[in-house]
Amino acid sequence: MLETLQTLPQDPVLGLAGEARADTNPDKVDLTLGVYMDEDGLCPVFDAVRRAQDELVAQEQTKVYMPPAGDADFNAGMRDLLLGAGHSALADARVSSIQTPGGCGALRIGAEVLRAASPQARVWVSDPTWPVHIPLLGSVGLEFASYRYYRPDTHSVDFDAMMEDLAQARRGDVVLLHGCCHNPCGADLSPAQWEAVATLAERQGFTPFIDIAYQGLGDGLDADAAGLRLLAERLPEVIVAASSSKNMGLYRERTGITLFVSQAPEHAANALGHGLAAARRCYSMPPAHGAIIAGRILANAELGALWRAELAGMCGRINGLRATLRAQLEAATDRDFGFVEREKGMFSFLGLSPEQTLRLRREHSVYMLDSSRINVAGVNASNVEYLAKAVAAVL
């Protein structure tokens, strides 16, 4: 029967990244994959992660399955990291969580629970959004609607249009929000805008589903979670999908969590029960290595302080790269690229056409998505001037 299968197109991001790897030009610049790179073009291992891993390897005595909900220290540490240790939802015991295989697994488990709770729910997704959101959430059969989010002409959040669209969301609907460092545009909601979204959610009765994969890479761990914490404070229900891939560098360890903030402790327990049942259907038992490492870091004051310092350095470097890239682009093109410095996290649209991005690849070996989305962390001191001059050439 396998001979009946048709050839599927290659994933556009992964395919372009493969094309970049195969390019033999020593000056090539790869801005495709959303992975943090240091000045040497490597995805580094945190010192805190290395220390926790060494301790784990030295002390580990079994490879038996993890508990179905995952590592206890990881779950507790992530709940505190996301919501803040003194959050009222935690104090009221109306939060439950399940460790998942990365942020993708967290989104899928959240979708499975939503489907069980309300099969007719519509999921409102920002335009633009991370392309994998649709297949991850749609694979369980949920219906989608789109809300306007980004204005390419101003490189900013189109907040009036967003609120106009979400005013059509009804009770029982779900609104997918990026907690910080929006992927792919880098334009985030302001504190006042988060307040307005909370008020709208109260009025319309929709449930926020927050994807927060980059906590700590925008303005810091607490500032990046402020919107999430506000919604969890004001609303009866919030679902959160979080990842340790970026802020701990645990990409290949697939370490994530789905968090259920409910109206009452018994509702949180029921949500967890459905999450566990969905996990059993999808992957049976959670992976151990990354979650135990992350759990040790979050539970240990010394390792936690080391990790926070390393993460703050990473965040500062990304923000510094944004300032440097802006200066180089403006010097090379005599155009305004101030939005690059204003945005948060690893991503930004440069505002180029697909034809211009194709020319960048063919003529300069500069690789970015056709939408001109770049991974800012792919920029470094040795390639930023070359990148700016290449952009100027196609403009």
Place of tokens 């059509």: 168
- Residue 294's closest CA among 103, 45, 49, 35? 49
State the catalytic residue, choosing from 224, 246, 307, 344: 246
- Of the ranges 13-17, 111-115, 259-263, 352-356, which one carries the lowest mean pLDDT score? 13-17
Domains of the chain: which residue ranges?
A: 2-45+316-394, 65-299
State the catalytic residue, choosing from 158, 173, 188, 211: 211
Contact between residue 274 and residue 117 where contact means Cβ atoms under 8 Å apart: yes
pLDDT digits (tens, 9 = 90+) for 189-240: 999 999 999 999 999 999 999 999 999 999 999 999 999 999 999 999 999 9
Helix (H) or strand (E) holding 228: helix 226-234
pTM over the 0.85 mark: yes
- What percentage of the chain reaches a pLDDT higher than 70? 100
Classified by CATH at the fold level, domain 65-299 comes out as Aspartate Aminotransferase; domain 2 (3.40.640)
- For residue 183, what pLDDT band results from cuts at 50, 70 and 90? very high
pLDDT digits (tens, 9 = 90+) for 354-376: 999 999 999 999 999 999 999 99
Residue 144 predicted with pLDDT over 90: yes
State the catalytic residue, choosing from 130, 165, 173, 224: 130
Domains 2-45+316-394 and 65-299 share a fold: no
pLDDT computed for residue 8 by the predictor: 87
Provide the phi-psi class of 102: left if phi over 0, else alpha when psi is between -120 and 50, else beta: left
φ/ψ of 58, rounded to 5, equals -70, -30
Respond yes or no: is residue 344 known to be catalytic. Answer: no
Is the CATH number of domain 2-45+316-394 3.30.420.40? no
Respond yes or no: is residue 130 known to be catalytic. Answer: yes
End-to-end CA distance of the chain: 50
Respond yes or no: is residue 224 known to be catalytic. Answer: no
